[in-house]
Amino acid sequence: MKTRFLPVWLLALTLVVSGCKSVQPIADNEPSIFIQKTEHRKTGMGGSVDLPKGVYVPDFQTDKGIYYLAPTKIILGALGMHRPVRGGLFVPHKKNPDQRQAMWQDQQENSGLLTAGASSTTRIWHLDSPVNYQIQTNQVTL
């Protein structure tokens, strides 16, 4: 009887492992960035994003770039609907050949254990034009 469930568990494990990417922690000295005004950008396929003004802290990184978390929810627009989600601005590393900025949405925010493994935290949607930002130089550590 127990062997009947083995394929189901193997499938679940495969989904969890395949959803993982090479996410790494941020270095302690990685600065935040500041966006001076709310920025509206098109994301392709008729979608859009509103990135709120404020300080974006580095949340995590991959070998492609740094994922900065917005100070409040970003607003995704598609098909005439708008919804707030956790996410922010993706800024590629200088060594990345693709230097396009992107927005990212936390795919894990409202997912369960099984669907969390099947989706990627690091999914990005490239923006139609870059977002202007300043690097925060005087950060206070508490």
Helix (H) or strand (E) holding 53: none
User: What is the model's pLDDT at position 31?
Assistant: 96
pLDDT over 80 (residue 100):
yes
The pLDDT score that the predictor gives to residue 106 is: 87
d(CA 34, CA 94): 19
* Per-residue pLDDT at 110: 52
Instruction: Let me know if residue 56 belongs to a domain.
Output: yes
The answer to whether position 90 is within a domain reads: yes
| 75-97 average pLDDT score | 94
How high is the pLDDT of residue 19?
Answer: 44
| Whole-Å CA distances, 8 to 2, 116, 120, 128 | 11, 17, 21, 42
Query: pLDDT: is 109 or 142 the higher one?
Result: 109
25 belongs to a structural domain:
yes
What is residue 108's predicted lDDT score, i.e. its pLDDT?
Answer: 66
Tally of structural domains, the chain: 1
pLDDT at residue 93 in the model = 96
What is the reported pLDDT for 11?
A: 43
More confident residue, 117 or 73: 73
How far is C-alpha 55 from the geometric centre of its chain's CA atoms?
Answer: 16
Torsion of CA 21, 27, 33, 39, to 10 degrees: 0
124 in any annotated domain: yes
Q: Which residues span the domain enclosing 48? A: 2-135
Helix, strand and coil in the chain, % to nearest 5: 15, 35, 45
In the predicted model, what is the mean pLDDT of residues 80-96? 94
Residue 140 lies in a domain: no
141: in domain:
no
- Least confident piece of the model among 54-63, 86-95, 99-108: 99-108
Residue 137 pLDDT level (bands cut at 50, 70, 90): confident
pTM score of the predicted model: 0.77
Residue 142 resides in a domain: no
Beta bridge partners of 102: 90, 126
Token pair 């929810």 in the structure block, residue: 73
